[in-house]
Amino acid sequence: MTASTTGRWLTIVGIGEDGLEGLSLRARAAIAQAEIVYGGARHLAFVPERRDQERVAWPSPLMTALPGLIERRGRAVCVLASGDPMFHGIGATLARHVPPDETLVLPAPSSVSLAAARLGWPLADIPCVTVHGRPLARVLPTIQPGARLFVLSESGATPAALAALLTAHGFGPSILHVLEHLGGPRERRRTNTAEAWGDAPVADLNLIGIEVVASAGTRLLPVVPGLPDDAFTHDGQLTKRDLRAMVLARLGPVPDALLWDIGAGSGSIGIEWMRGHPRCLAIAIEAKAERQALIARNREALGTPGLRIVAGRAPDALAGLDAPDAVFIGGGVTEPGVIETAWQALRPGGRLVANAVTVQSEGVLARWRERTGGDLIRVALAQAHPLGRFDTWRPALPVTMLAATKRLA
């Protein structure tokens, strides 16, 4: 057989646990007419072998097979995928390498669609987090009392690990629904609280639905910027809560945007930037090894394991990093070349926010504003503290903030 005259040489067929029986006639025909069929061992087992049809099992890592697949452009190639190939599947990966007008996608119901149907949950209202090939801590920002969410598992060990994580963070009463082999003859559902889950064996092919319940007295962390200062492990090098919320408002986190947090200290700015949206990216640049360890600890505890840590001192440590959409300089603006290098690397339309607490660093920001424009803000915060039988104001050091936007080219 040869590829279709329409130019769609690559067909991606979503296949469920019910195998060929659950496929449409069009999907079955695409498999039967293919010269080459790619798939995992489980999917290939559904398809009878034929002498005139080549079969390719995905290697590990899977990406090593993509050059060979793309070299077969023009031949009739069929890729077997789980459920909906465009939902956290191989279809989304292939879409980055093969134009859509060369591809035909024939999806089956996704595991999340089947899980929502089994549990009676409105799919449009339920967030989904994947921990397949990703750290489990990614689920933490979505864990809020009363929330429901789906978690795409890495393996049969994921439910027990997730139950332990929830319990450790004060959400032991949360209800876990573990659905195995959805859509097939071996489908099974198990339900229990996180704190009572234990280590019962679970099939590797599983999806988890969570109904979040907090234990009495559990400290709840907000989903907006301004986490309590003691939510971070730090050595005093921390942008304080109220100022941190102001900084993040000026930085303006948006999906897929990359932040450079220069002189990251405990990592608070980068962590809160990433907590705002699962697709936000951040790099924490920190020279001191002990503070790098604090950042690593905080990113796990607060659910942003994807925060990248770069060891080194700016501006030298900035060389070779991906161009940022936003930059925060919490200190060190008097260091020669720091603000200049950051500004030069910043993408057009990007935002730079820098803080100063000394007269000398204020002068740097004032002169920089003359070059680039922007806002210069003086922040003076004070908090009430006891004084005998009364309260008085204890002011923090005033902070001068520069917020500037790089003009579009």
* Burial of 384 per CB tally in 10 Å (0-12, 13-18, 19+): exposed
Tell whether 249 and 352 lie within a shared domain. Answer: yes
> For the domain that residue 51 is a member of, what is the CATH number?
3.40.1010.10
Tell whether 84 and 196 lie within a shared domain. Answer: no
Give 187-204 pLDDT, tens digit per residue: 999 999 999 999 888 999
Quick one: pLDDT band at residue 408, thresholds 50, 70, 90?
Answer: confident
**CA-CA distance, 390 to 404, in Å (whole number)?**
42
Quick one: pLDDT band at residue 60, thresholds 50, 70, 90?
Answer: confident
Tell whether 82 and 138 lie within a shared domain. Answer: no
Tell whether 332 and 352 lie within a shared domain. Answer: yes
Tell whether 163 and 278 lie within a shared domain. Answer: no
Number of domain units in the chain: 3
Domain that holds residue 397: 229-405
Tell whether 165 and 100 lie within a shared domain. Answer: no
Tell whether 159 and 245 lie within a shared domain. Answer: no
Q: Examine residue 140 and state whether it is found in any structural domain, yes or no.
A: yes
Q: Examine residue 217 and state whether it is found in any structural domain, yes or no.
A: no
Beta bridge partners of 143: none
Buried b (16+ CB within 10 A) or exposed e, 135-174: ebbbbbbbbeeeebbbbbbbebebbbbbbbbbbebbbbbb
Q: Give the mean pLDDT of the chain.
A: 94
> For the domain that residue 173 is a member of, what is the CATH number?
3.30.950.10
Give 13-31 pLDDT, tens digit per residue: 999 999 999 999 999 999 9
At residue 262, the 3 state secondary structure works out as strand
**CA-CA distance, 191 to 179, in Å (whole number)?**
9
Residues 31, 33, 38, CA angle at the centre, nearest 5°?
A: 45
Q: Examine residue 399 and state whether it is found in any structural domain, yes or no.
A: yes
Tell whether 78 and 98 lie within a shared domain. Answer: yes
319 pLDDT above the threshold of 60: yes
Q: Which long-range contacts (CB under 8 A, 24 or more apart) does 27-31 make?
A: 27/106, 27/108, 30/78, 30/104, 30/106, 31/78, 31/80
Q: Examine residue 233 and state whether it is found in any structural domain, yes or no.
A: yes
**CA-CA distance, 65 to 58, in Å (whole number)?**
7
Tell whether 148 and 189 lie within a shared domain. Answer: yes
Tell whether 301 and 205 lie within a shared domain. Answer: no
Note the pLDDT of residue 2: 46
Q: Examine residue 176 and state whether it is found in any structural domain, yes or no.
A: yes
